[in-house]
């Protein structure tokens, strides 16, 4: 299993996440896969069985710039790798300035172009120097958090952040990405339409957001269940990544519901609960809550001092006639990322093409 860690830096910003689902599709093909098949859309949740392939040879990818905030992600990666028996790889990208900047004609440049020209132009030598500096910084961070003996390979490349990161991730066939909590929140605070959580939702690779409060492998896990495919997938992945004796709380929140609705949701929760118990030794308990989804989940997680909150990012229904309850999962996921004090696991929705590749 492979883990990736992203740190928040100015140069990274939201661009590191700006990869397209179809570009990283090969990454999702064997990471904690469920047996996705078009016919599965109508398959009851309790009949979904997690089929974990032999991921031992697939590395965990960690992306970093050597910043201290990524320590929690590195430590989480070590424990997750120990849990599932995976290798860990580290990568960092030194962003390359636009190569054409030296070729601009100042006299002919517009006001906008002139502002671009003021950005520092980096030569190849400068880039190599930056790469060496970054490599040394990352090596120091690895040594201070998990030790040099861990022997985690470090890859540092220069180039456009998104494309270079995409290339590295694709080549690594990573099955899990671990990022620091600071980055996730910083991405989410970016102005414009490209919110971090929106970008996260496009990821086909599960993402583990390590909080500074990390105490090790998760023993108390809250699964925010919306009955989506991604939500069920998140539940199975969370169980796989948590301690063998973990307590898992399968939580479904409704804004309001009739007695019939509650019975219906309870039955569905129990179905998923059975499927989780079948695949692991964890203790699973189903919880139904009424109110705002994000606030109730956060309150519940704080109340039990949860180590991990797991959720999916899909808004697609799993069962015929089942629709995601309000508020929409995207908002809930964003709120959880913004406000959760514990670590988070986000399982992405898989596109039809991704499911086909698994089937």
Q: Name the minimum Å distance from CB 86 to another protein.
A: 8
Binders in 51-70 for another protein, by CB under 8 A: 56, 68
Q: Which of 44, 30, 38, 72 is nearest to 237 (CA)?
A: 30
Of 152 and 208, which has the nearer Cβ to another protein? 152
Does 45 bind another protein (CB under 8 A)? Our answer is no
Does 154 bind another protein (CB under 8 A)? Our answer is no
Strands laid side by side in the 220-224 sheet: 154-159, 88-95, 60-63, 177-180, 207-210, 343-347, 308-312, 220-224, 247-254, 283-290
> Angle formed by the axes of helices 229-241 and 259-279, to 10°?
40
Residue ranges with strand state E in the chain: 60-63, 88-95, 154-159, 177-180, 207-210, 220-224, 247-254, 283-290, 308-312, 343-347
Torsion of CA 32, 38, 40, 43, to 10 degrees: 160
Identify the residue among 35, 38, 85, 255 touching another protein (CB under 8 A).
85
Of 152 and 227, which has the nearer Cβ to another protein? 152
Q: Name the minimum Å distance from CB 223 to another protein.
A: 17
Q: Name the minimum Å distance from CB 242 to another protein.
A: 7
Does 255 bind another protein (CB under 8 A)? Our answer is no
Does 90 bind another protein (CB under 8 A)? Our answer is no
Identify the residue among 175, 242, 286, 333 touching another protein (CB under 8 A).
242
| Residues near another protein (CB under 8 A), total | 35
Does 277 bind another protein (CB under 8 A)? Our answer is no
Phi/psi of residue 154, nearest 5 degrees:
-115, 125
CA–CA separation, 218 vs 239, rounded Å?
Answer: 9
Q: Name the minimum Å distance from CB 261 to another protein.
A: 36
Whether cis (ω within 30° of 0) applies to the bond prior to 327 is yes
Span from 16-24, 32-40, 73-81, 258-266 in contact with another protein (CB under 8 A): 73-81
Of 70 and 298, which has the nearer Cβ to another protein? 70
Provide DSSP, 101-164: GGG--GGG--HHHHHHHTSPPPPHHHHHHHHHHHHHHHHHHHHHHT-GGG---EEEEEE-HHHH
Q: In this structure, are residues 200 and 207 in contact, taking their beta carbons and an 8 Å threshold?
A: yes
Identify the residue among 113, 151, 261, 352 touching another protein (CB under 8 A).
151
Span from 45-53, 83-91, 251-259, 272-280 in contact with another protein (CB under 8 A): 83-91
Of 88 and 251, which has the nearer Cβ to another protein? 88
Span from 102-110, 137-145, 271-279, 314-322 in contact with another protein (CB under 8 A): 137-145
Does 352 bind another protein (CB under 8 A)? Our answer is no
Q: In this structure, are residues 284 and 250 in contact, taking their beta carbons and an 8 Å threshold?
A: yes
Site string for another protein, 193-232 (x = CB under 8 A): ---------------------xxxx-x-------------
Q: Name the minimum Å distance from CB 279 to another protein.
A: 15
Q: How many helices (H) and strands (E) does the chain have?
A: 11, 10
Phi/psi of residue 272, nearest 5 degrees:
-65, -35
Q: Name the minimum Å distance from CB 16 to another protein.
A: 24
Binding site for another protein (CB under 8 A): 56, 68, 71, 74-75, 78-79, 81-85, 87-88, 140, 143-152, 214-217, 219, 242-246
């Amino acid at each position: 299993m492979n883990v990736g860690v992203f740190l928040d830096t100015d140069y990274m910003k939201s661009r590191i996440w700006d990869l397209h689902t179809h570009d990283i599709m090969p990454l999702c093909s064997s990471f904690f896969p469920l047996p996705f098949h078009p016919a599965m859309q109508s398959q009851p949740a309790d009949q979904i069985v997690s089929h974990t392939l032999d991921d031992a040879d697939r590395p965990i990818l960690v992306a970093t710039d050597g910043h201290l905030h990524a320590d929690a992600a590195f430590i989480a990666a070590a424990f997750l790798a120990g849990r599932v028996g995976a290798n860990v790889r580290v990568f960092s990208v030194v962003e390359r300035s636009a190569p054409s900047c030296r070729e601009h004609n100042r006299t002919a440049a517009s006001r906008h172009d002139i502002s671009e020209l003021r950005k520092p132009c980096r030569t190849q030598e400068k880039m190599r120097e930056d790469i060496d500096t970054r490599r040394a910084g990352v090596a120091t961070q690895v040594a201070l958090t998990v030790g040099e003996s861990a022997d985690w390979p470090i890859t540092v490349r220069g180039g456009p952040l998104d494309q270079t990161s995409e290339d590295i991730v694709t080549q690594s066939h990573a099955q899990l990405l671990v990022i620091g909590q600071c980055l996730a929140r910083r991405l989410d605070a970016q102005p414009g339409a490209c919110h971090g959580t929106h970008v996260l939702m496009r990821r086909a690779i599960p993402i583990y957001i390590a909080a500074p409060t990390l105490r090790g492998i998760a023993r108390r896990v809250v699964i925010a269940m919306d009955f989506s495919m991604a939500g069920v997938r998140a539940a199975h992945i969370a169980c796989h990544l948590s301690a063998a004796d973990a307590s898992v709380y399968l939580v479904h929140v409704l804004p309001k519901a009739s007695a019939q609705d509650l019975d219906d949701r309870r039955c569905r929760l129990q179905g998923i609960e059975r499927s989780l118990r079948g695949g692991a030794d964890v203790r699973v308990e189903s919880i139904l809550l009424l109110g705002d989804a994000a606030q109730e989940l956060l309150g519940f997680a704080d109340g039990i001092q949860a180590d991990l909150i797991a959720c999916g990012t899909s808004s697609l229904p799993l069962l015929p006639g089942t629709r995601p309850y309000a508020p929409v999962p995207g908002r809930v996921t964003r709120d959880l990322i913004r406000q959760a004090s514990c670590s988070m696991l986000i399982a992405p929705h898989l596109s039809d093409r991704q499911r086909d590749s698994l089937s």
